[in-house]
Structure 1
Amino acid sequence: MRVRLQVLNQKLYARGTFPPAPGSTKEAPHQQRIALGLPANPRGLSLAEEQAKAIGVALEAGRFDWGPYRGDRAETVGDWVERFKRRWRGAPITWKTDYQQPFNKLPLDAPLTVALLEQTAENKTEEDSRSRLRACNAYRQLAEFAGLPVEGFAQLKGSYSAAAVDPRSLPTDEQIAGWRGTIAEPGWRWLFGMLATYGLRPHEVYTADLADFPTVRVHEDTKTGSRFVWPLYPEWSTNWELDDVTMPPLENIAGASNAQLGTKTARAFNRLGFCHAYDLRHCFARRCLEFGYSPEFGAKLMGHSPETHCKVYRRWIDEGTYWAIYQAGVNRGDRPQPPSC
């Protein structure tokens, strides 16, 4: 049986059709990788070719054994996570939310196997959820880094995507202004006004810089880094006195993670009963369109790409909004006129 060599992360692997590895849920031989523990240099390649030949002979003779490649030599989940982290490149907040949180669900002292990763994703996250997608993406990358097969994660991750969320009816700006006026607690009233006026993500409001008010500057330790935001409507920022910062009555705000702040805010909005916290952000996206701003400009204010702005946020905008914009355009006195016959 043919065994090929493969290079991943400057390490050499043997790839071929092998019997199921210990702990695997599969019963039949299938394509897998074997970590040879050799560097991808001339000396390592020479040794790897010898090992690949030996593996091929063992497979042909029906006496292949996973022992030398797993067994006592199998490294723990914690070992692989630490090695993966040293190789990984990206923003600290991305590591914390997209990798560290899924890795925290794993038993760090257990041997790393595909079965363990798949079972953890299946048992500790909800089907077709954002957390399932995030876990499968992180576990797939860890498995690939360790030379393990990753084919099963494609189906396990489910069908969740931000763009697949069904649009719901967003509140009107009249409703938003009215609701804010009924909030008795000053901190939550201020936060509600900030989310509505600036379209911030819920966690961003807690560290927002208002030194250049009415311009608001978002701290760099957020999902997409630092940015500036201008108010829509400007009147809301001044009439509601949003420069008078009044934080909600929450404990340990300074020590909470972005995810924890988002969860606390979502729970508070559930108690208020008006709308979801993120609805106010979607309404800001709608307002960008109503003000005639380009997708690039709206995306800049909201802290994401123009592609995300068009693909995700405009799904929340109903036909009536587009019709109003169309009417405003065709009724402009300086609009282009049709050619005369």
Structure 2
Amino acid sequence: MLKTKLHKGYQASTVKTATTDGTYIGTMKHLEKQAVNTEIQFDIALKEVNARLKAANSRVAIVQVAGSLYLQATLPLKPHDINTKGKNTKQYKISLNIPANFYGLKTAEEEANELAKLIARQQFTWTSKYLGNKQEQGEKTFGELLDNYEKIYFSSRQRNIKSEGTFFKNYLGVLNQFDRNMLAIPENIKRQFDNISNDTPSWKHRTSIALNLFCKEFNIPLVIKFKRPKPKPRQVPDESMIEDGFYQWEKYAHKRRNKRREQADYWIVFRWFYGMLATYGCRPRELFLYPDFQHWLSENKTWKVHELCKTGEREALPLYDSWIELFDLKNPQVVKLVQDYINGRDDTKGMHTLSAALSDWFNKVDLGFSPYDLRHAWAIRAHLMGIPIKAAADNLGHSVQQHTDTYQRWFGLENRKKAISHAVKKQDELQELREEIVKLKAENQELRNLLDKYQIIQTLHNN
């Protein structure tokens, strides 16, 4: 469900339930949809600005041409210009080199109001400003545009830890690999993109998406075409792998070398994260961001996800209550270690640091799967257990479509065998129950017949 807010008349902010699970494909689809949604919102905002200008009896409008914003007005003739109808005025489109985005729209409205005042006072003259002698956008460096990109991005959406996480992960973190000092012209940008190694196709595709949105924002005539790579097979662990993996942490801790005293217990902290991800199927950030440890250490079995997390507030339930005890998740001493380690790192940088550290520990312990694989495993187990899709999707904090896509994509041959085996076994059990019912009915009827005979004999005997 979409909720749209218009701030200061030209800022549009859209909030909706996220449908991406944080996977590469999900993220790319989200970015592509986000670009389409932004265009729709911008068109609405542009119409609202022009409506305000008209209501103020302004004789200036704002129009979009080839990714840039222009002022449109009837003005005195330019020097050396003529009107074929013999008039001394003409309608002009004036370029101020303002890109067609929300941030630029604010500036364009200010310029439109300024021009409207000059027209109303009959003080307009063709200065260099309106003749188009400003610096061209392409003459700026990549770094200059990148510095402005953050202002532009947050001019159309509320700034909080969710939106900051999206921007720094999918845009700034990707675009920072380009030379900040190069001129932001298509040839330079394309050359640097081509130099990115093809050995990491998913990263190169992610870069192409971010780069195309960046170039479109600044009206740079460049479109990068890079085919989305096929997703790599995931090693989604089953129950036995997950339970065995829990004991790998302590084995690693005893074998590792050069462990500093102050970091000696870090493995316990990350093993707790491991157990929570396996038991509740949460996103890693849902454990890091404002965790409610007081609720967790109470009698509740739910994990409270904070409202500022990706898909808002919810209480996640475990599939197996026994894993809470098996993975020592309610141990107050362990929870205190976790709380001290997180230590209020509630900004974008802190979330990134914690997420990177978690992935690093999974690799060090050599589990054979990633933190997000535990989330996929939860979705698959829920399906195999017959949990209704809507209930499982709500528990994971994503849409039914995303939930379906997740377990279908990573279901695998072994899980299909399990699903079919469970279904066949269930049918066999139902058949056995039916046969047992028929047998019991026959025995019951036989007993009724014997009882009737006994009652007849008893009556004869009494007479």
Aligned length: 290
Q: CA deviation at 1:267?
A: 1.6
Alignment match, 1:308: 402
The answer to whether the aligner puts 1:146 opposite 2:218 as a matched pair is yes
The answer to whether the aligner puts 1:274 opposite 2:356 as a matched pair is no
**Contact preservation (8 Å) 2:301, 2:317:** yes
Give per-residue Cα distances to partners, 1:216-249, cap 9 Å, x unaligned.
0223443433332101111111343312325469
**Contact preservation (8 Å) 1:204, 1:222:** yes
The answer to whether the aligner puts 1:190 opposite 2:190 as a matched pair is no
- Describe the shift of the 1:252–1:195 C-alpha distance in structure 2 as closer, same or farther (beyond 3 A): closer
2:156 to 83, 88, 94: 88
**Contact preservation (8 Å) 2:376, 2:406:** no
Unaligned runs of 5+ in 1: 1-6, 16-32, 52-65
3-state SS of the aligned residue for 2:304? Answer: strand
Q: CA deviation at 1:324?
A: 3.1
Equivalent AA in structure 1 for residue 208 of structure 2: C
The answer to whether the aligner puts 1:299 opposite 2:390 as a matched pair is no
Percent identical: 21
The answer to whether the aligner puts 1:289 opposite 2:361 as a matched pair is no
TM-align CA RMSD: 3.9
* Structure with the higher fraction of residues in helix conformation: 2
Q: 2:338, 2:177 → 1: CA distance? A: 31
Alignment match, 2:417: 320
- Describe the shift of the 1:114–1:138 C-alpha distance in structure 2 as closer, same or farther (beyond 3 A): same
**Contact preservation (8 Å) 1:125, 1:131:** no
Give per-residue Cα distances to partners, 1:248-303, cap 9 Å, x unaligned.
69977644533332221122112212232333222211111122123322222222
Deviates more, 1:239-248 or 1:262-271: 239-248
Equivalent AA in structure 1 for residue 318 of structure 2: P
The answer to whether the aligner puts 1:180 opposite 2:246 as a matched pair is yes
Equivalent AA in structure 1 for residue 215 of structure 2: A
Equivalent AA in structure 2 for residue 290 of structure 1: L
TM-score normalised over the length of structure 2: 0.52
Q: 2:237, 2:150 → 1: CA distance? A: 46
Alignment match, 1:265: 358
1:200 to 282, 299, 302: 282
Unaligned runs of 5+ in 2: 1-41, 47-61, 76-89, 97-131, 251-266, 435-463
3-state SS of the aligned residue for 1:183? Answer: helix
Alignment match, 1:23: none
2:136 to 53, 60, 70: 70
User: Which of the two has higher C-alpha Rg?
Assistant: 2
Q: CA deviation at 1:101?
A: 1.8
Q: 1:186, 1:50 → 2: CA distance? A: 61
Q: 1:204, 1:42 → 2: CA distance? A: 52
Q: 1:128, 1:167 → 2: CA distance? A: 15
The answer to whether the aligner puts 1:159 opposite 2:228 as a matched pair is yes
Give per-residue Cα distances to partners, 1:5-49, cap 9 Å, x unaligned.
xx988565655xxxxxxxxxxxxxxxxx6x4x523x545993228
**Contact preservation (8 Å) 2:70, 2:95:** no
Deviates more, 1:191-200 or 1:295-304: 295-304
Deviates more, 1:171-180 or 1:239-248: 239-248
Q: CA deviation at 1:312?
A: 2.9
**Contact preservation (8 Å) 2:379, 2:406:** no
